[in-house]
Amino acid sequence: MRKIFVGAAWKMNKTVDESIDYAKKLVRFIDDNLSESKYIDVFVLPTFLALYPFSMLMSNSKLKYGAQNCFYEDEGAYTGEISPMHLKDIGCTYVELGHPERRNILKEDDSIINKKVIACLRNDLMPILCIGEEERCADIKKVKRFLKNQLFSNLNGVARNDIGKVIVAYEPVWAIGAECAAPVDYIYDMLGYLRELLAKEYGEEAGKDQIIFYGGSVNLESSREILELTNNNGIFIGRAGLNYNFFTGMVKNALNVERNMREIEKNNKSR
C-alpha cells in the first residue's frame, strides 16, 4: 500500500505560544486517531522559533515537524541563516525547499535550491522539493519541458540510493492561492509524468515508489478525490493548515482513503 502524507507549512504565521497551543491539540488528535494507522504521516512546518518547543512536545508523538527552509552549509560565517545540521539536532524530519515564494520573492534559483537539497540529504533530513509551472498553459509539452528542467536542476548530484529520501511536492504556481485546486485529471497526468522522469533517470523502482504529493488550493471536498489518485502520496497545504478544523478534516479524509485501500487489498488477497 502506498503511504499518504498530510502536511502544512504555516508560512510566517502564529506566535510561539499560538504554535504551541495548536501543536498540543494536534498531537492529541493525531495520537488518538492514527494509533492504528501504518500508512499515514502527518507533519507541520511552523516558523523557526517554534521548532525547539515542538521538539519537546512531539518527541513521543506520531506527529512530525520540520522547517520551511534551511541554508546549504552546516556552519560558518553565514549571518542570519539556519543550519540543516541544527535542524536535525532538534528533531526535524522535513525541510521545505523551492517554494515559489522563495523563488520569486527571495530570488532563490535552481542552483541554490540544489545545494540545499544536497545539504539536507547530508544531514539525514528529508527535503520536500517544491516544483511547478508558473502559468497554466495549453501547451502541455511546454509545461512538461519546464518541469523536467526544474526537477533535474534541483536534483543535480543526488545519487540513486538517495533519491528515495527526497519528497517531490508538485505545486503548480497558478493554483496556489486560487479558488480551487488544479483539475484532478491534470494532477494525475503531471504526477504520472514526474514518475516517468524519475524512472528513466533513477530506475523503475524510483518512479514507482517515489513520494510525490500535490499542493495548491485544496479544500476538504477536493482533497478526498486528490488523495484517491493512485499515483499521489498526499496533500501539502499552506495557510489553510492554520485552521485546526480544516487540517484535521484533511487527516480524516486521508484516514477514509486508507481504510478503502485496506479493504481493496483485503479483497484482492481473498480472491
Q: How many domains does the chain have?
A: 1
Give every residue of the chain whose pLDDT is below 70, as ranges. 271
Q: How far apart are CA 4 and CA 211, in angstroms?
A: 9
Domain of residue 34 covers: 4-270
Residue whose C-alpha is closest to residue 44's, from 80, 116, 1, 96: 96
State residue 1's pLDDT score.
85
Contact (Cβ atoms closer than 8 angstroms) between residue 117 and residue 129: yes
Core vs surface per residue 77-104: b (16+ CB within 10 A) or e: eeeeebbbbbbbeebbbbbbbbbbbbbe
SS3 of residue 175 by DSSP = helix
Which grid coordinates belong to 230? 493512485
Task: Classify 158 as helix, strand or coil.
Answer: coil
Cβ within 8 Å of residue 248, ≥6 positions away: 26, 29
The per-residue pLDDT for range 149-172, each reduced to its tens digit, is: 999 999 999 999 999 999 999 999
- Using DSSP's 3-state secondary structure scheme, residue 223 falls into helix
Annotated catalytic sites, by residue?
99, 171
> Do residues 68 and 13 lie in contact, with contact meaning Cβ atoms separated by under 8 Å?
no
Would the CA dihedral through 216, 4, 58, 37 be positive or negative? positive
> How far apart, in whole angstroms, are the C-alpha atoms of residue 130 and residue 254?
21
Domain CATH for 260 = 3.20.20.70
